[in-house]
Amino acid sequence: MNVFDSTYQGILRRIMDEGEVDANRRTGHEVRAIPGMHFSHDIEKEGFPLLTLRKIPVKMFVAEQIWFISGARKPADFLRDYTKIWDSFTNPADVVTVAYGYRWRKHFGRDQLGALVELLKKDPSSRHAVIVTWDPASDGLGGTKKANVPCPYTFTVNIIGGRLHLHNMVRSNDMVLGFPSDVAGFALLQTILAQKLGVGVGVYSHSISNAHVYDNQYDAVSEMLNRTNEHAPIHLELPKNVFDRSEKKDKRLVDEIADPITAQYQPLPAITGLQIVL
């Protein structure tokens, strides 16, 4: 199997074998969970980290990242044409109050993502390229009740050895439904930033405070642990000027990015009946 599939199976197996079983009060579901889960994946050397043990919708995470880079927070603004995954988290005005891209570009009174690009253009050795999604004024800690708070809450970008590396920090990850799309999406963002800055793409790192599997996913996990797929590494070739075109919500980008991935992507069948636990 490719490296990412093997990594993913190893994480699932550890959760099922070693995870603490508990009841989640908010959802009413039993979970198996492990604290402090971490993995790293070298995109240049090991291929793009897209799960092949079950089918992941490619256009979904591609469109989502374009939407994030644009700084939008209404799914009707570009995203809903490709996925309705954020519709469960909108307020009555059809706004996702915790939309990641909006937090990156507008919410805190500065364009964090734009500033990151400018910083690393001027000083590629900087260790200050940190993006924060979590708003301590209202997120978590029993504060304002919301339908959602950010799961990936901060990430750091470093250029080391002429390659751009991204470390994603995640407070909570549904390892069956959320994790595979999060990894693919943020690895895509990493590759887009590397292109924008004219450097190679390096190591994607992912650290999770609470890595868990819900009880209604146990059968799906068992199925994936028994699957094997001799899949070649996936190599991501981006069209030109992806960052700038994403800012303009260029819809042609979705196919231009997704089609070369799909041409290489030969996943095992989708596992049907999976539902997001809210």
Q: How is residue 187 annotated by DSSP?
A: H
pLDDT band for 261, please (50, 70, 90 cuts).
very high
pLDDT at residue 273 greater than cutoff 90: no
The b/e string for 72-81 (b: 16+ C-beta within 10 A; e otherwise) is bbbbebbbbe
Q: Which two tokens stand for residue 142?
A: 């029993």
**Which pLDDT value is given to residue 247?**
98
In 10 A of CB 38, how many CB atoms? 12
Average pLDDT over residues 116-127: 98
Residue 272 has pLDDT above 90, yes or no: no
Nearest to 186 by CA among 199, 170, 175: 170
Is 151 catalytic? The answer is yes
| 118: CB partners within 8 A, 6+ apart | none
Catalytically annotated residue among 151, 187, 224, 234: 151
Length of the chain: 278
pLDDT at 20 over 80: yes
Mean pLDDT of 138-146: 78
Whether residue 37 has pLDDT greater than 90? yes
Please tell me the CATH code under which domain 3-264 is placed. 3.30.572.10
Q: pLDDT band at 146, cuts 50/70/90?
A: low
* pLDDT reported for residue 105: 98
Assess whether pLDDT exceeds 70 at residue 50: yes
Average pLDDT, the chain: 95
What does the pLDDT look like over 163-185, one tens digit per residue?
999 999 999 999 999 999 999 99
**For range 227-248, the mean pLDDT:** 97
Give domain limits for the chain. 3-264
pLDDT at 162: 98
Quickly state the pLDDT bin for 145 (edges 50, 70, 90): low
CA distances from 8 to 5, 51, 85, 132, 206 (A): 5, 8, 22, 26, 12
The answer to whether the beta carbons of residues 197 and 235 sit under 8 Å apart is no
Percentage of the chain with pLDDT > 70?
Answer: 98
Task: Determine contact, residues 111/69, Cβ cutoff 8 Å.
Answer: no
pLDDT at residue 274, rounded to an integer: 74
Q: CA-based Rg of the chain, rounded to a whole angstrom?
A: 18
Q: Do the strands 200-214 and 163-170 form a parallel or antiparallel pair, or are they unpaired?
A: parallel
pLDDT above 90: percentage of residues in the chain: 89
The stretch 199-215 carries a mean pLDDT of 97
At residue 278 the predicted structure's pLDDT band, cuts being 50, 70 and 90, is low
